Amino acid sequence: MQFMVQGAWGIVPVHLNELSPGELRGTFPGFAYQLGNLLAANTAVVEARLADHFRDASGHPDYAKALALFALVIFVALIVLAAMGREERGKEF
């Protein structure tokens, strides 16, 4: 599984370096990652509230549906952001 995760997300720091201005190239990827951590810090709370909303047949919170919905929203948002983003071809580092 880690092989697939690395294949899907391993290119992100390279892309962040492409997008960053030259004078911020050493700082921008780390800042972007930490900003992502800040935004993701509330994930567990959101998923727990979603699980409370989705109950299984026995009345227990359905964490599988909550995680699937949360992941779907994130994947769609990532696809939209990637499609809207610019690409820097031939950029000199």
Which residues lie closer than 8 Å to 24 by C-beta, 6 or more apart? none
- Cβ proximity of 5 and 78 under 8 Å: no
Q: Indicate whether 1 belongs to any domain.
A: no
Q: Indicate whether 35 belongs to any domain.
A: yes
Query: Do 51 and 34 sit in the same domain of this protein?
Result: no
Predicted TM-score of the model (pTM) = 0.63
Query: Do 36 and 51 sit in the same domain of this protein?
Result: no
CA 76, CA 90: separation in Å to the nearest integer? 28
Query: Do 24 and 36 sit in the same domain of this protein?
Result: yes
Query: Do 49 and 81 sit in the same domain of this protein?
Result: yes
Q: Indicate whether 23 belongs to any domain.
A: yes
Query: Do 50 and 81 sit in the same domain of this protein?
Result: yes
| pLDDT of res. 29 | 83
Q: Indicate whether 2 belongs to any domain.
A: no
pLDDT averaged per 10 residues, the chain (length 93)? 73 79 84 89 92 90 92 90 76 64
CA 23, CA 74: separation in Å to the nearest integer? 30
Domain count, the chain: 2
Q: Indicate whether 26 belongs to any domain.
A: yes
Query: Do 50 and 33 sit in the same domain of this protein?
Result: no
- Cβ proximity of 78 and 8 under 8 Å: no
Provide the terminal-to-terminal Cα distance of the chain, rounded to the nearest Å.
32
| pLDDT of res. 72 | 93
| pLDDT of res. 65 | 93
CA 65, CA 46: separation in Å to the nearest integer? 13
- Cβ proximity of 53 and 67 under 8 Å: no
> Which residues constitute the domain of residue 23?
8-41
